[in-house]
Amino acid sequence: MAFKKWSSIENHYNNKAIARFQERFYGELKSERFLISEKIDGSNFSVIFNNKGGWQFAKRNSLISNDESFYNFKSAFESEEMGKFFFMVSSYCSEKNKTLQFVGELYGQGVQKRVYYGPDRYWRWYAIYDHITYDNVKNLSVKEMNELGDDIDSEYSYDIDYFRAHVYKTIYGLEEALEFDINKNSFYTPEGYDKENFMEGVVIRPFNNYYLGDDFLIIKKKNPKFDDKNVVKKERVKFNITEDLQSLYDKVIGYVNENRTEDLFSKYGMIDSVVQTGMYIKFYSQDIIEDIKEEYPLEFDNLGKKDRNWLMKQLVIEIKNEIREHL
């Protein structure tokens, strides 16, 4: 079965990465239309419709086996309206000899706990891969996704946007789009729920795709409440090490925190066995190292092998303690 892992989304505060696109596509991005959609606090989840009229489910990194529960995902696909969605899209793919992967988010009760969406599990899509051949997979632009929706609607009188992530508005120009105010309650807050329920953030995507190598322009802007960097200021521990190493340690030890842990589980599922600890430590530490290299490249590059190993050892100790809290 065809499957493609969803690309990473760049953070809005990564000025270096965004600047590279602005330098290459300055004129285009200044007038481009940007779609501002809600970033749902859940777990990456795809539905793949094949050209035979069938479908399969996938989490972020792999297809889901028949005996795998993964947040009891099947409960999110039991409604009558979801049945219509599956029937229309699978019929379209069969008739057009297409394989389409709808990339989205599984969310709701038991998936994440930072935003309240209601008592059940739900699913929304925000991107589509067109599996033209096994080795040729096209990431449809917003413009192309809209055209696909129009095509399905004209043939089957069905609007696939019914399960699309909520779009707040369209903004012209990248700089203006980055200024979008995210201090809002989630669009999916249940009616009658009167507690504070801020959305996780927004995803900012141009109508046309822009690539630099394998990277394409798509940006997430998170609510500060969901920041996974230094959310918790930890008590400073002084070690018998160089001043430079101590300084870097003080900066990055806060990268191990509840928000990053929740983000990790959104990608790979909840940890449910001590046997999985090593795998989750690996994912967690890789994610942190990427951030360190991005935020403190000079400090990290100047570390000798011994100091770098020491830093990683301290991070692993913190990560292990953090993960154990969820077992």
238 inside domain: no
**315 and 212 part of one domain:** no
- CA angle, 90 then 122 then 48, to 5°: 30
- Same domain? For 119 and 251 the reply is no
Is the distance from CB of 47 to CB of 102 less than 8 angstroms?
A: yes
The residue range of the domain holding 318 is 243-324
Which residue in this structure is represented by tokens 């508005």? 169
Are 101 and 48 within 8 A, CB to CB? yes
Query: Which parts of the chain register pLDDT below 50?
Result: none
- In this structure, is residue 25 part of a structural domain? yes
Number of H helices, E strands in the chain: 10, 12
C-beta of residue 245 within 8 angstroms of C-beta of residue 299: no
- The amino acid occupying position 150 is D
Domain boundary, last residue among 222, 252, 270 = 222
Same domain, 251 and 215: no
How many domains is the chain built from?
Answer: 2
- Do 182 and 97 share a domain, yes or no? yes
What pLDDT, on a 0 to 100 scale, did the predictor assign at position 239? 84
Residues 109 and 155 in one domain: yes
Provide the pLDDT for residue 230: 54
Which ranges constitute the DSSP H helices of 189-257? 243-252
Paired sense of beta strands 33-39 and 201-206, if any = antiparallel
User: Which CATH number do you get for residue 162?
Assistant: 3.30.470.30
Residue 20 maps to a domain:
yes
Structure tokens at 45: 């989840």
Instruction: Read off the tokens for 44.
Output: 């990456």
- Reported as a single tens digit per residue, the pLDDT across 189-234 is 999 999 999 999 999 999 999 999 989 999 999 998 887 775 556 6
CA distance 225 to 114: 9
Q: Are residues 218 and 285 in the same domain?
A: no
Does 234 map to a domain? no
226 DSSP 8-state letter: G
Count of residues in the chain: 327
Same domain, yes or no: 84 and 217: yes
pLDDT of residue 231: 53
Rg from Cα positions in the chain: 21
Residues 87-117 as b/e (b if ≥16 CB within 10 A, e otherwise) read: ebbbbbbeeeebbbbbbbbbbbbebbeebbb
Q: Which residue has the tokens 């990277």?
A: 215
- Structural domain includes residue 232: no
Whether residues 247 and 217 share a domain: the answer is no
Structural tokens at position 56 = 């399969």
Say if residue 181 is in the same domain as residue 49.
Answer: yes
Q: How far is CA 8 from CA 145, 217, 219, 264, in A?
A: 19, 10, 9, 13
Residue 53 within any structural domain of the chain: yes
Inside any domain, residue 1: no
Cα 258 to Cα 322: distance, rounded to the nearest angstrom = 8
* pLDDT score, position 259: 86
Residue type, 5: K
Asked if the structure places residue 227 within a domain, the reply is: no
pLDDT of 76 = 96
- Do residues 82 and 208 share a domain? yes
**Is residue 88 domain-shared with residue 146, that is, in the same domain?**
yes
* Of 191, 222, 253, the domain-final residue: 222
- Residues 17 and 146 placed together within one structural domain of the fold: yes
The encoded tokens of residue 54 equal 């069938």
Q: pTM for the complete prediction?
A: 0.83
